[in-house]
Amino acid sequence: MKNEDQILRQRAIKVAGIPKETTSKEETLRVVEFMLIPEKYCIDSSYVTEVLPLKEITTIPGTPQFVMGVMNARGKIISIVNLKSFLNLKESGITELNKIIVVKHGKMEFGIVADAINGTHELPLSGLSPPPVTIHGIGAEYIKGVTTEGLILLEISAILSSESIIVNQK
Amino acid sequence: MDRKQEAFLLELISDFKIEGAEHHKVIINGLLKLEKYPPEEMMKPLIETVFREVHSLKGAARAVNQTDIERLCQTIEGVFHLAKQGKLTFTTPMFDILYKAVDILGVMLLEVEQKEKRIGANILLQLMKRIEAMQRVEETPPEVEEVVSSGSSDVVQNPTPEPVPEQIPSPPLSDQATNNAEVNEITDSPVSGDTVRISTSKLGILLREAEEFISVKASLGFYIREIQKIHNPELVPLVKDMDRFHRSMSRMVDDLLLDIKTTLLYPFSSLLGIVPKIVRDLGKSHNKEVNLSISGSEIEIDRRILEEIKDPLIHLIRNSIDHGIERPENRKQAGKSPAGILDITVRQVSGREVELHIHDDGAGVDKEKVIQSAIKTGVITSDIASKMTDTEVFSMIFRSGVSTSPFITDISGRGLGMAIVAEKVSKLGGSIELISSPDKGTTFIITLPVTLSTFRGILVKVSNQLFIIPTTAVERAVRVNLQQIKSVESKYIITQNNESFALVRLGDVLGIAQVKIKKEDGGLKPVLILTIAQKRIAFMVDEVIGEHEGMVKNLGPQLIHVRNIAGATVLGDGRVIPILNIQELMESATHISYTINPGESGIEQENPDTNHKRILVAEDSITLRSLLRNIIESSGYQVKTAVDGMEAFQFLKNESFDLVVSDVEMPRMNGFDLTARIRSDKTLEETPVILVTALDSADDRQRGMESGANAYIIKGSFEQSNLIETIHRLL
């Protein structure tokens, strides 16, 4: 038992590293980066609860275009939103959209569909520039900024608390 | 037999103890608040509450033959009855007596099962005398009340001379209760027996978790059936064991669920408590005198049903007072007493069903008015009306738009209320009926299940999508020959057993693309006749798959309300299936109109060019698969999908297809290999292949062509029209 502990400790010391310097005291945001081909997007990771593969989707007739349908996440039903059409982004061809990022804020929770998940990282906020003129329409208010590499930071909390994402056809 | 009865009695008594403790607590808290002499507008509801609680406790005591408790409650009730009418003003000494009485009640409640009672008949009698004396207080000069102001005295001088018997054994509460300075709220129940208080939200969680087992049960059943399809002798004993295990597990799950449901039962009294005030207020505003009587309020039912039945009950009470009970002058003319009778009775019909009767001795439902209203709104024709029985006529009350009231008042007369009542009741799995005779009055009988049952529905397929229709809404399922469908103006009509129904396609109502049917189907299409609030419409579907039992789930916080959809349920294999909202579906269906070409009798229009062409789509991404399917189907082709090249090839070997649309990157067998396999197979080599891919290099294009594909579409520049055009060109 003690032996095991020792081994583990040694191993821990071995693999432990000093966390990467995040360009000194700069303010950063931990984000989840994903692909909506051809663009790269990221969102504040604190709103992300999980990432799931999209295996089966049930379309719900009568819902707006941006609602792709619902899926079963371990017995719970989660609605799936296509940000491309919610944000009025230009559709370019067809893509596989087979990953789901589940986002949650307060009571609101849904999945957003993505072509691929690129992982999480710290995003320095100072390097952001305002959304380019090319991204306009309804979507612009949900875009916090764009990095020099063209990575688009979405204001996921605004999307989550947006009235227009709610479907209530009373 | 005797033992059984004894056990039953014991169970009743222990239930009474719990209920009694609840009432006791509310009474004490009420007294405490009253003793602070709140302003009159707060005083009244407090008095009302205490009165009602004492009354309920009295009723409950009577039901289990606890005569002493019943009698004590009766006297206390008398005091509050006077106070309610404003004929009695509380004073501190009165509170002292009342506290004593309530303390004694507490002791009596603790001792209900014991043979040796601490409260003797003598003590009780003296106490009751003193309480009764309080009720004569109005006759005593008012000054006397003011004389007694040193409230904390245990010995009460007024209004009765008898001292409080000192030998009353005091439960722990007693000392505090008489000294109101120390008492605020009493939260502990005086019953210390074997009960535990659990918040209903916790019970709700337990129920939800137990209900989850239903889908586990269903999934297990599904997998067992799947395994049974594999014919392997080694599996046979295993499958048998699993099946046995599944059956015993099912039984356990059912038992668990039933037991949890019984913990959610709640007496009707919690609902009926609001009725007296509603009746009084309504009576006043309509200038009608109403004598209300309520019985059976101790009967228990699932609290969720209680919550849901509240609005329908209030509506029926309003209806009785508004339409039923006549004004006093009219009643006198009819030889009735000026005050109308409104009687609400709850009856336990069986272990699983409860009846709620709402009876008034008013004018009864005017049959003629119902018939006229029904003819006016087009529900029936006068021809049919003449042949209808009373029951049939009265049942039309529950249809939308039928009303007997010539005036639209703020509370009833729109003819909508009854339809909503009927719908709500049927949603809960219950039923409603109406008995009425002229001048004798009207009785509504609502039959309700004691517990909310799990949801049962019929699984149907429309345009390759599955939906569930609640079984309660399905009157019958039939197969209809397309030749039997008639068209009237812009509607289709079918006739079944001499009855005609409007016919719509479910897919049209839901706004989803229809798959055209083939002539080879023999022209027989499944049709479900759905009914709600006496309205009936026939819905044509592509396929009736079977029945499903499961839980209703909502669509999540983002999809609060989607028209025509009530929620979703999860099948044994994990698929999510939307549950249709029948009321909205019926409404949507009435707005459907078809353009019918003259001379055409069938509902289906067929496109001879594309109808028989079958296209196989191979694609591993679910989104793309359904997108491609939708695009191709909406152009009138029939589509089958495969999840990869391997599956596609198997389908191609067993069925015939006119064209293949395939992704390139797929597990097991990619699009290039699939194309190559097709080209090297004698029976398949002629089949056109379209490759759809994300790969966009000259090499890949080259490879695609080499493998024998007829067309190569790049996902990045994909356009719907592009694909369809290519398909047209190749076929």
- Are A109 and B556 a contacting pair at CB < 8 A? yes
A79 closest CB neighbour out of B215, B558, B623: B558
Is a pLDDT exceeding 80 seen at residue B666? yes
Give CA separation, B544 vs A61, A73, B465, B532, B539, in Å.
Answer: 19, 27, 12, 20, 11
- A68 contacts chain B (CB < 8 A): yes
Cβ count within 10 A of residue B603: 20
Name which residue leads in pLDDT, B130 or B379: B130
Residue A98 is nearest to which of B570, B622, B694, comparing CB atoms?
Answer: B622
| pLDDT value at residue B612 | 67
pLDDT for the residue numbered B190: 45
Looking at the DSSP bridge assignments, the partners of residue A138 are: none
> Best residue in B214, B216, B559, B724 to probe A by mutation, most A CBs within 10 Å?
B559
Which ipTM score applies to this complex? 0.83
Q: Do B568 and A77 touch (CB under 8 A)?
A: yes
Residues of chain B contacting residue A107, judged by C-beta atoms under 8 Å apart: 557
Interatomic CA distance for residues B531 and B533, integer angstroms: 7
B213 touches chain A (CB under 8 A): no
Asked if pLDDT for residue A43 goes beyond 90, the answer is yes
Per mean pLDDT, which range of A3-17, B134-148, B465-479 is the poorest?
A: B134-148
Would you say B469 and B376 are in contact if contact means Cβ atoms under 8 Å apart? no
Is the minimum CB–CB distance between A103 and chain B shorter than 8 Å? no
Contact residues on chain B for A92, CB-CB shorter than 8 A: 716-717
The answer on pLDDT for B461 being more than 80 is yes
pLDDT tens digits for B546-571?
888 777 778 888 998 899 998 888 88
User: What pLDDT, on the 0 to 100 scale, is given for residue A134?
Assistant: 54
Cβ distance of A58 and B578 shorter than 8 Å:
yes
The secondary structure of B307-326 as a DSSP string is HHHHHHHHHHHHHIIIIISP
pLDDT for res B520? 43
Burial category of B478 from C-beta neighbours within 10 Å (exposed 0-12, middle 13-18, buried 19 and up): middle
Could you give the 3-state DSSP secondary structure of residue B604?
Answer: coil
What confidence tier does B155 reach under pLDDT thresholds 50, 70, 90? very low
Does B695 reach chain A within 8 Å, measured CB to CB? no
Q: Answer yes or no: do B562 and A169 touch at CB < 8 A.
A: yes
C-alpha distances in angstroms, B18 versus A157, B56, B294? Answer: 48, 13, 21
Residue labelled with tokens 């089958």: B640
B216 close contact with A: CB closer than 8 A: no
* Residue B66 near residue B16, CB atoms below 8 Å: yes
Q: Is residue A17 part of a domain?
A: no
SS (H, E, C) B331-378: HHHCCCCCCEEEEEEEEECCCCEEEEEEEECCCCCCHHHHHHHHHHCC
Residues of B in contact with A168 (CB under 8 A): 560-561
CA distance B152 to B174: 13
CA distances from B360 to B152, B364, B445, B547, B611 (A): 49, 8, 12, 41, 62
Say if A110 falls within a structural domain: yes
**CA–CA gap between residue B578 and residue B569 (Å, rounded):** 7
- Hey, what are B547's tokens? 């029945």
Say what the pLDDT of residue B280 is: 81
Pairing of strands A143-146, A152-154: antiparallel
Q: Half-sphere exposure (CA, 13 Å, Cβ side) for A67?
A: 26
On the question of pLDDT at B158 being above 60, the answer is no
Q: Which of B71, B136, B128, B132 is closest to B101 using CA atoms?
A: B128
Under DSSP, is residue B166 helix (H, G, I), strand (E, B) or coil?
coil
Domain that holds residue A81: 24-165
The band of B406, judged by pLDDT with boundaries at 50, 70 and 90, is: very low
- How far is B623 from chain A, CA to nearest CA, in Å? 6
Residue A126: Cβ within 10 Å count: 8
Query: Out of B289-298, B370-379, B595-604, B718-727, which region has the weakest mean confidence (pLDDT)?
Result: B595-604
**b/e for B309-344, b at 16 or more Cβ within 10 A?**
beebbbbbbbbbbbbbbbebeebeeeebeeebbbbb
Q: Is B541 on the interface with A (CB under 8 A)?
A: no
Mean pLDDT of B18-38: 83
- Closest-CA residue of chain A to B718: A93
> At A3, is the pLDDT very low, low, confident or very high (cuts 50, 70, 90)?
confident
Judge whether B134 and B159 are in contact, CB under 8 Å.
Answer: yes
CA dihedral B704, B705, B707, B713 (to 10 degrees): 40
Q: Which residue has the higher pLDDT, A13 or B441?
A: B441
Contact yes or no for B615/B641 (Cβ under 8 A): no
Check pLDDT > 80 for residue A50.
yes
In a domain, A67, yes or no: yes
Q: Which of A110, A116, A74 has its CA nearest to residue A95?
A: A116
Residue B255 above 80 pLDDT? Answer: yes
**DSSP letters for B525-544:** EEEEEEEETTEEEEEE-SEE
For the segment A60-106, what is each residue's pLDDT rounded down to a tens digit?
998 998 999 999 876 678 999 998 888 877 666 667 788 899 999 98
Q: Please tell me whether the peptide bond between B557 and the residue prior to it is cis, using omega within 30 degrees of 0.
A: no
- Tell me whether residues A61 and B510 touch, CB distance under 8 A: yes
Percent of all residues in chain B with a pLDDT value above 90, rounded to a whole number: 8
- Is B465 in Cβ contact with A59 (below 8 Å)? yes
Name the nearest CA neighbour of A43 among A165, A166, A142, A163: A142
CB contact under 8 A, B622 and A169: no
Looking at the DSSP bridge assignments, the partners of residue B355 are B347, B447
| Buried b or exposed e, range A65-98, using 16+ CB within 10 angstroms | ebbbbbbbbeeebbbbbbbbebbbbeeebbbbbb
Please say if the pLDDT value at position B489 is more than 80.
no
- Mutate which: B211, B468, B554, B622, vs A, most A CBs within 10 A: B622
Hey, are the CB atoms on B560 and A165 less than 8 Å from each other? no
**Are B662 and B637 within 8 A, CB to CB?**
no
- Cβ contact (<8 Å) for A110 and B562? no
Structure-token match 């979405």, residue found: A154
Per CB-CB distance under 8 Å, the chain A contacts of B575 are 56, 58, 72
Q: How many CB atoms lie within 10 A of CB B591?
A: 8
Domain count, chain A: 1
Instruction: Name which residue leads in pLDDT, B345 or A144.
Output: B345
> Does A8 map to a domain?
no
For B492-549, the pLDDT digits (tens) are 888 888 888 888 889 888 988 665 544 445 567 889 999 876 678 999 998 888 888 7
Mutate to test the interface with B, among A79, A81, A94, A113 (most CBs of B within 10 A): A94
Of the spans B60-74, B474-488, B641-655, which averages the highest pLDDT?
B641-655
Quote the percentage of chain B above a pLDDT of 70: 82
Listed residue (B25, B140, B132) closest to B81, CA to CA: B132
Q: How far apart are CA B28 and CA B171, in angstroms?
A: 14
Predicted confidence (pLDDT) at residue B43 exceeds the cutoff of 50: yes
Asked if B511's CB is within 8 angstroms of A62's CB, the reply is yes
Mean pLDDT of A50-56: 85
Contact status of A98 with chain B (Cβ, < 8 Å)? yes
Give the residue on A whose Cα is nearest the Cα of B555.
A77
Whether the CB of A168 is below 8 Å from some CB of chain B: the reply is yes
B129: left (phi over 0), alpha (psi -120 to 50) or beta: alpha
How far does Cα B639 stand from its chain's mean position? Answer: 39
B59 vs B509, higher pLDDT: B509
Residue B15's H or E segment, with its range, is helix B2-35
**pLDDT (mean) for B42-64:** 84
Lowest mean pLDDT among B32-46, B128-142, B470-484, B695-709: B128-142
Tokens 């004593």 belong to: B100
pLDDT single digits (tens) A120-157: 889 988 878 887 655 555 567 788 888 888 898 999 99
- Alpha carbons within 13 A on the beta-carbon side of B2: 0
β-bridge partners, B578: B568
The whole-angstrom distance between A64's CA and the closest CA on chain B is: 10
- Alpha-carbon distance of B319 to B491, in angstroms, equals 36
In terms of residues, how long is chain B?
731
**According to the model, what pLDDT value does residue B77 have?**
86
Q: In terms of DSSP H, where are the helices of B349-470?
A: 367-376, 382-385, 390-395, 417-427
- Taking only residues 121 to 160 of chain A, the set having a beta carbon closer than 8 angstroms to any beta carbon of chain B reads none
pLDDT surpassing 90 at residue B466: yes
- Are residues B555 and B562 in contact, defined by beta-carbon separation less than 8 angstroms? yes
Amino acid B342: pLDDT: 93
Question: Running DSSP on this structure, what letter comes out for residue B197?
Answer: -
Query: Is there a contact between B47 and B87 (Cβ–Cβ < 8 Å)?
Result: no
Determine the Cα–Cα distance for residues B628 and A85; give it in Å rounded to an integer.
18
For residue B159, whether the previous peptide bond is cis, meaning omega lies within 30 degrees of 0, is yes
A134 part of a folded domain: yes
- Determine the distance in angstroms separating the CA of B699 from the nearest CA of chain A, rounded to an integer: 21
Q: Which of B81-90, B124-133, B301-310, B588-597 has the lowest mean pLDDT?
A: B588-597
What is the token pair recorded at B224? 């067992």
Any CB–CB contact under 8 A between A56 and chain B? yes
A77 and B554 in contact by Cβ < 8 A?
Answer: yes
The answer to whether residues B477 and B458 touch, using CB atoms and an 8 Å cutoff, is yes
B1: pLDDT strictly greater than 70 = no
Confirm or reject contact between B468 and chain A (CB < 8 A). no
Question: Which tokens is B148 given?
Answer: 């007694």
Q: What is the pLDDT of residue A113?
A: 92
Q: Over the stretch B169-213, which tens digit does the pLDDT of each residue have?
A: 444 433 333 333 333 333 444 444 567 777 777 877 787 788 778
Instruction: Give the pLDDT of residue B358.
Output: 93
Angle B325-B327-B330 (CA atoms, 0-180°, nearest 5)? 105
CA distance B619 to chain A (A): 10
CA-based torsion, B402, B405, B408, B411: positive or negative: negative
Mean pLDDT across chain B, nearest whole number?
78
DSSP-derived 3-state class of residue A143 = strand
Closest CA to B92 of B46, B158, B45: B158
Report residue B606's pLDDT band, with 50, 70 and 90 as the boundaries: very low
Phi, psi for B524 (deg, rounded to 5): -95, 125
Q: Which of A61, A71, A168 sits opposite B560 (nearest CB)?
A: A168
> Which residue does chain A place closest to B625, by CA atoms?
A96
| Number of residues that this document lists for chain A | 170
What CATH number is associated with residue A138? Answer: 2.40.50.180
Quick check: B459 pLDDT over 90? Answer: yes
Give me the residues of B, 505-534, that contact A with CB < 8 A.
510-512
Residue B597 has pLDDT above 60, yes or no: no
Identify the three-state secondary structure at position B689.
strand
**Taking CA B331 as the corner, what is the angle to CA B328 and CA B332, rounded to the nearest 5 degrees?**
90
